[in-house]
Structure 1
Amino acid sequence: MENARPLPSYLVERYHGWKATKYKDNASWYRHLAQEGQHPRAMVISCCDSRVHVTSIFGADQGEFFLHRNIANLVPPYVTDGAQHGTSAAVEYAVTALKVAHVIVLGHSNCGGVKGCEEMCSGNAPALEEKTSFVGRWMDILRPGYERVKKIKDQTERTKALEKQAILVSLENLMTFPFVKEAVDKGNLTLHGLWHDIGEGGVEQFNAHKKAFESI
């Protein structure tokens, strides 16, 4: 591939620093992971946002989380149309092959994808409404969530509510996957919805009985 180029020097330096410190101090553990394969207990579906660092939030080591990231931490509904479905493939692999015990959908504050969805659904982002917009068509997944919160007058509160709808819509869509529903019904899998406040470092979880998010 003629367009591929060497890494920027700062990344090369960071790699060598990691190899000489963290890897060196834990070389046996890395070799164990390589030889024994992965056995994560949980899958985390989070946003691509560079400010959301899942392993740091939960103090996780290599091999603990099966991670999947996409714009606005969304899970689409279950469809089998022959197209390419990266998120659905990741969910299938985590549940049916890795047999994870938990699937966690982690949303966050100040999400650009969610804000784009809000602007698109309110008619203020025509570029996202174009059929050629990958982001726009992906954010269509969240339209049902927008319909639930669109009457909230305060824009800040409406956006925050939509960020949490991104989590709830994803949890609802997860249950449309037959293998997810089967695992949940058998008690082999639990689903969790979390919202992370980037600035304050807080995490809220969805309480299904109260139908509300609460601090953990």
Structure 2
Amino acid sequence: MTDTPDSWGWVLASGSLAFCLTFTHQLAPSAVLERYGADPQTTRTMDGQTAHAAIPTGRNHSLLRAGRLGNWAFCFETYGVQGLMPDTLTELSADTETLAVNFAEDATHTFEHWADSRRIESFEPGMPYDAPSPTTPHTFRNLVEQREAATPGQLPILAALEGLSDHIGGHTLTPDTLGGPLLTALLPLRPRASAHTPSTSPAEVRKHLGKFLGTLPPATS
């Protein structure tokens, strides 16, 4: 069943929460975390409160929460943007297909489409662009623009997320799913990605997630 068009509205209601989200076709959540580079010996199934309470106060790790919606495995990443790194997307999309989108109030929103370890399409939702050549795929850009035209005034990032939902069979990631048990890993930030890490601190993330995941305890060192 397809979710309602405004079912991604929680993204805006979350305030300044920053995240990177990937969807990969026909992979298990455990395989997704391994392709991110997480040690399978350290992954655990946790609910949202437990996962975020376990985060150290420093900013040297991404928190990865992986699950499945239909035939697609998702990874919801906070404290980092490893999911937008070309090497990560190369691994994720090997012999399959991956969609990636990031959201942060103080950063550029990006939509990536990869297949078989190759970038197929990359753009910033809502930004003008030169018309691509006839041989350049721009399927998702067209889909997002159609969404924007159908709902005047809608923020481009929501149109992008709705376009993503259309592609993966009408599924939408919800706060209830994020708050439930998901396979979880801490991934050390690689030096080349640290300059692009969203500025949201662990304490700020807890504040904005708290309304969806319940009251989160303070961070522990």
TM score, norm. by length of structure 1: 0.29
TM score, norm. by length of structure 2: 0.29
The structure with more radius of gyration: 1
Higher strand share goes to which structure? 2
Higher relative contact order (CA 8 A, sep 6+): 2
